[in-house]
Amino acid sequence: MRATLGYKQKTYPLSVNSDTSDLALLALGRFESMGNFRFAQLARFHSMHVIHSGEGVFTADETKHRVGANQIFTFFPSQLIRYHDFPETPWVYTWLNFSGENIARYLASVGITKENPVLDLSGRLMLKSTLALVVNEIVRYNAIEGLDYKLYHYRTNHGAKIDLVIQKNMKSPPVAVEIKSSVNPTEVDVKQLIDFAEEFPEARRLVICHTSKPYRINGIDFLPFQEGIKEIFK
Protein backbone atom coordinates (compact mmCIF):
# COMPACT_ATOMS: atom_id res chain seq x y z
CA MET A 1 0.00 0.00 0.00
CA ARG A 2 1.35 3.44 -0.91
CA ALA A 3 -0.11 6.92 -0.40
CA THR A 4 1.09 10.51 -0.46
CA LEU A 5 0.63 12.95 2.40
CA GLY A 6 -1.63 15.97 2.22
CA TYR A 7 -5.07 14.80 3.22
CA LYS A 8 -7.51 14.59 6.15
CA GLN A 9 -9.49 11.47 6.91
CA LYS A 10 -11.91 10.31 9.56
CA THR A 11 -12.57 6.56 9.70
CA TYR A 12 -15.40 4.65 11.37
CA PRO A 13 -14.57 0.92 11.69
CA LEU A 14 -17.57 -1.33 12.28
CA SER A 15 -17.84 -4.56 14.21
CA VAL A 16 -19.46 -6.97 11.75
CA ASN A 17 -19.18 -10.74 11.40
CA SER A 18 -18.65 -10.73 7.65
CA ASP A 19 -18.48 -14.53 7.47
CA THR A 20 -22.20 -14.83 8.12
CA SER A 21 -23.45 -11.70 6.39
CA ASP A 22 -25.17 -11.53 3.04
CA LEU A 23 -23.81 -7.99 2.73
CA ALA A 24 -21.66 -6.40 5.46
CA LEU A 25 -20.42 -2.83 5.79
CA LEU A 26 -16.94 -3.20 7.32
CA ALA A 27 -15.79 0.40 7.55
CA LEU A 28 -16.65 3.88 6.36
CA GLY A 29 -14.56 7.02 6.07
CA ARG A 30 -14.70 10.66 5.06
CA PHE A 31 -11.70 11.79 3.03
CA GLU A 32 -10.52 15.29 2.07
CA SER A 33 -7.46 15.73 -0.16
CA MET A 34 -5.23 18.79 -0.16
CA GLY A 35 -4.59 18.23 -3.88
CA ASN A 36 -2.30 15.93 -5.85
CA PHE A 37 -3.17 12.94 -3.64
CA ARG A 38 -1.88 9.60 -4.96
CA PHE A 39 -2.61 6.11 -3.72
CA ALA A 40 -1.74 2.57 -4.84
CA GLN A 41 -2.61 -0.82 -3.36
CA LEU A 42 -3.57 -4.42 -4.00
CA ALA A 43 -7.21 -4.27 -2.95
CA ARG A 44 -8.42 -6.45 -0.08
CA PHE A 45 -12.14 -5.58 -0.11
CA HIS A 46 -14.94 -4.40 -2.32
CA SER A 47 -14.58 -0.66 -1.81
CA MET A 48 -16.83 2.14 -3.07
CA HIS A 49 -15.74 5.79 -3.23
CA VAL A 50 -18.55 8.36 -3.53
CA ILE A 51 -16.99 11.57 -4.85
CA HIS A 52 -18.58 14.76 -3.53
CA SER A 53 -16.21 17.18 -5.25
CA GLY A 54 -12.93 17.24 -7.16
CA GLU A 55 -11.59 15.32 -10.15
CA GLY A 56 -8.88 12.76 -10.80
CA VAL A 57 -7.98 9.43 -12.40
CA PHE A 58 -8.81 5.93 -11.14
CA THR A 59 -6.88 2.97 -12.62
CA ALA A 60 -7.95 -0.64 -12.05
CA ASP A 61 -5.98 -3.47 -13.69
CA GLU A 62 -4.31 -0.94 -16.03
CA THR A 63 -7.62 0.52 -17.26
CA LYS A 64 -7.92 4.27 -16.59
CA HIS A 65 -11.10 6.14 -15.73
CA ARG A 66 -11.40 9.88 -15.25
CA VAL A 67 -13.73 10.41 -12.28
CA GLY A 68 -15.20 13.43 -10.52
CA ALA A 69 -18.09 14.82 -8.49
CA ASN A 70 -21.33 12.80 -8.43
CA GLN A 71 -19.62 9.59 -9.47
CA ILE A 72 -18.74 6.39 -7.61
CA PHE A 73 -15.63 4.37 -8.40
CA THR A 74 -15.37 0.85 -7.01
CA PHE A 75 -12.59 -1.68 -6.75
CA PHE A 76 -12.70 -5.40 -6.17
CA PRO A 77 -10.55 -7.77 -4.07
CA SER A 78 -7.14 -8.66 -5.56
CA GLN A 79 -7.25 -5.81 -8.09
CA LEU A 80 -4.16 -3.65 -8.54
CA ILE A 81 -5.47 -0.14 -7.87
CA ARG A 82 -4.00 3.33 -8.43
CA TYR A 83 -5.79 6.63 -8.17
CA HIS A 84 -4.99 10.32 -7.88
CA ASP A 85 -6.63 13.71 -7.99
CA PHE A 86 -5.21 16.92 -9.46
CA PRO A 87 -3.69 19.89 -7.56
CA GLU A 88 -6.42 22.23 -8.83
CA THR A 89 -9.32 19.77 -8.20
CA PRO A 90 -8.75 17.99 -4.86
CA TRP A 91 -11.10 15.17 -4.00
CA VAL A 92 -13.62 15.03 -1.19
CA TYR A 93 -15.26 11.63 -0.97
CA THR A 94 -16.87 9.06 1.30
CA TRP A 95 -15.45 5.54 1.06
CA LEU A 96 -17.11 2.30 2.18
CA ASN A 97 -15.60 -1.19 2.49
CA PHE A 98 -17.96 -4.13 2.01
CA SER A 99 -17.86 -7.90 2.19
CA GLY A 100 -20.44 -10.67 1.98
CA GLU A 101 -21.45 -13.65 -0.07
CA ASN A 102 -23.49 -11.68 -2.57
CA ILE A 103 -21.72 -8.32 -2.72
CA ALA A 104 -20.69 -8.74 -6.38
CA ARG A 105 -24.29 -9.54 -7.34
CA TYR A 106 -25.63 -6.52 -5.49
CA LEU A 107 -23.09 -4.23 -7.15
CA ALA A 108 -23.95 -5.67 -10.57
CA SER A 109 -27.64 -4.96 -9.93
CA VAL A 110 -26.87 -1.21 -9.93
CA GLY A 111 -24.46 -1.45 -12.86
CA ILE A 112 -21.11 -1.80 -11.06
CA THR A 113 -18.80 -4.59 -12.26
CA LYS A 114 -15.04 -5.12 -12.68
CA GLU A 115 -15.44 -4.16 -16.32
CA ASN A 116 -17.58 -1.09 -15.47
CA PRO A 117 -16.40 0.13 -12.05
CA VAL A 118 -17.64 3.73 -12.35
CA LEU A 119 -21.25 4.72 -11.69
CA ASP A 120 -22.59 8.18 -12.57
CA LEU A 121 -24.96 9.55 -9.92
CA SER A 122 -25.97 12.71 -11.74
CA GLY A 123 -29.57 11.57 -12.07
CA ARG A 124 -29.75 10.28 -8.50
CA LEU A 125 -28.41 13.21 -6.49
CA MET A 126 -31.23 13.47 -3.94
CA LEU A 127 -31.15 9.75 -3.16
CA LYS A 128 -27.35 9.70 -3.01
CA SER A 129 -27.09 12.68 -0.70
CA THR A 130 -29.84 11.41 1.59
CA LEU A 131 -28.34 7.94 1.93
CA ALA A 132 -24.83 9.30 2.48
CA LEU A 133 -26.03 11.77 5.12
CA VAL A 134 -28.02 9.24 7.12
CA VAL A 135 -25.50 6.38 6.94
CA ASN A 136 -22.67 8.73 7.95
CA GLU A 137 -24.65 9.99 10.93
CA ILE A 138 -25.69 6.50 12.07
CA VAL A 139 -22.13 5.23 11.92
CA ARG A 140 -20.80 8.35 13.65
CA TYR A 141 -23.34 8.17 16.47
CA ASN A 142 -22.68 4.44 16.99
CA ALA A 143 -18.93 5.08 17.20
CA ILE A 144 -18.96 8.24 19.33
CA GLU A 145 -21.39 6.81 21.87
CA GLY A 146 -19.47 3.50 22.00
CA LEU A 147 -22.68 1.53 21.41
CA ASP A 148 -21.10 -1.26 19.35
CA TYR A 149 -24.25 -2.07 17.40
CA LYS A 150 -23.86 -4.31 14.33
CA LEU A 151 -24.92 -2.76 11.02
CA TYR A 152 -25.70 -4.72 7.88
CA HIS A 153 -27.91 -4.90 4.82
CA TYR A 154 -30.54 -7.58 4.35
CA ARG A 155 -32.60 -9.14 1.57
CA THR A 156 -35.92 -10.71 2.55
CA ASN A 157 -37.15 -14.12 1.42
CA HIS A 158 -39.20 -12.30 -1.22
CA GLY A 159 -36.09 -10.58 -2.57
CA ALA A 160 -36.80 -7.11 -1.11
CA LYS A 161 -33.73 -5.15 0.04
CA ILE A 162 -33.61 -3.37 3.40
CA ASP A 163 -31.37 -0.28 3.49
CA LEU A 164 -29.97 -1.02 6.93
CA VAL A 165 -30.51 -3.51 9.76
CA ILE A 166 -29.09 -2.68 13.18
CA GLN A 167 -28.77 -5.12 16.07
CA LYS A 168 -27.02 -5.03 19.44
CA ASN A 169 -26.39 -8.79 19.48
CA MET A 170 -27.84 -11.98 18.02
CA LYS A 171 -30.36 -12.28 20.89
CA SER A 172 -31.73 -8.75 20.66
CA PRO A 173 -34.57 -7.84 18.25
CA PRO A 174 -33.33 -6.25 15.01
CA VAL A 175 -34.18 -2.73 13.90
CA ALA A 176 -34.96 -2.45 10.19
CA VAL A 177 -34.33 1.01 8.72
CA GLU A 178 -35.43 2.44 5.38
CA ILE A 179 -34.08 5.82 4.24
CA LYS A 180 -36.30 8.00 2.03
CA SER A 181 -35.66 11.40 0.47
CA SER A 182 -39.39 12.19 0.27
CA VAL A 183 -41.26 14.34 2.81
CA ASN A 184 -44.18 12.07 3.77
CA PRO A 185 -43.67 8.50 2.54
CA THR A 186 -46.38 5.95 3.26
CA GLU A 187 -46.57 2.22 3.89
CA VAL A 188 -46.76 1.68 0.13
CA ASP A 189 -43.27 3.17 -0.25
CA VAL A 190 -41.72 0.72 2.23
CA LYS A 191 -43.35 -2.61 1.42
CA GLN A 192 -40.01 -4.29 2.14
CA LEU A 193 -40.55 -3.53 5.84
CA ILE A 194 -43.79 -5.53 5.71
CA ASP A 195 -41.81 -8.47 4.30
CA PHE A 196 -39.22 -8.03 7.04
CA ALA A 197 -41.90 -8.19 9.77
CA GLU A 198 -43.11 -11.52 8.41
CA GLU A 199 -39.64 -12.97 8.99
CA PHE A 200 -38.90 -11.05 12.22
CA PRO A 201 -42.20 -10.25 14.00
CA GLU A 202 -40.34 -8.80 17.00
CA ALA A 203 -38.39 -6.30 14.88
CA ARG A 204 -38.78 -2.55 15.14
CA ARG A 205 -39.31 -0.88 11.76
CA LEU A 206 -38.26 2.71 11.14
CA VAL A 207 -38.33 5.03 8.14
CA ILE A 208 -36.00 8.03 8.26
CA CYS A 209 -37.23 10.75 5.92
CA HIS A 210 -37.77 14.50 5.44
CA THR A 211 -40.95 14.66 7.53
CA SER A 212 -41.17 17.55 10.00
CA LYS A 213 -42.81 15.44 12.71
CA PRO A 214 -43.02 11.72 13.50
CA TYR A 215 -46.00 9.56 12.54
CA ARG A 216 -46.87 5.87 12.63
CA ILE A 217 -48.61 3.62 10.09
CA ASN A 218 -49.39 -0.02 10.89
CA GLY A 219 -46.47 -0.46 13.27
CA ILE A 220 -43.95 1.41 11.10
CA ASP A 221 -42.50 4.62 12.58
CA PHE A 222 -41.76 7.48 10.15
CA LEU A 223 -39.26 9.86 11.74
CA PRO A 224 -37.31 13.08 10.97
CA PHE A 225 -33.58 12.58 10.40
CA GLN A 226 -32.01 13.58 13.72
CA GLU A 227 -34.78 12.11 15.85
CA GLY A 228 -34.78 8.93 13.78
CA ILE A 229 -31.04 8.35 14.12
CA LYS A 230 -31.25 8.52 17.92
CA GLU A 231 -34.42 6.39 17.99
CA ILE A 232 -32.59 3.57 16.22
CA PHE A 233 -30.41 2.93 19.27
CA LYS A 234 -33.16 3.00 21.95
Structural domain tally of the chain?
Answer: 2
Nearest Cα to 26, choosing from 14, 36, 38, 8? 14
Same structural domain for residues 132 and 56? Answer: no
Per residue in 126-147, pLDDT (tens digit) is 555 566 667 777 887 888 888 8
* Dihedral angle sign, alpha carbons of residues 85, 34, 69, 105: positive
Same structural domain for residues 100 and 171? Answer: no
Same structural domain for residues 165 and 61? Answer: no
Q: Are 95 and 46 in contact (CB under 8 A)?
A: no
Question: Which CATH number characterizes residue 195's domain?
Answer: 3.40.1350.70
Q: What range does the domain containing 163 cover?
A: 128-232
Average pLDDT per run of 10 along the chain, which is 234 residues long?
Answer: 72 60 80 93 94 94 93 94 95 90 82 90 58 74 84 87 89 91 85 94 92 92 85 85
Average pLDDT, the chain: 86
Same structural domain for residues 95 and 7? Answer: yes
Same structural domain for residues 10 and 116? Answer: yes
What pLDDT, on a 0 to 100 scale, did the predictor assign at position 5? 60
Q: How long is the chain?
A: 234
Same structural domain for residues 113 and 7? Answer: yes
Same structural domain for residues 145 and 161? Answer: yes
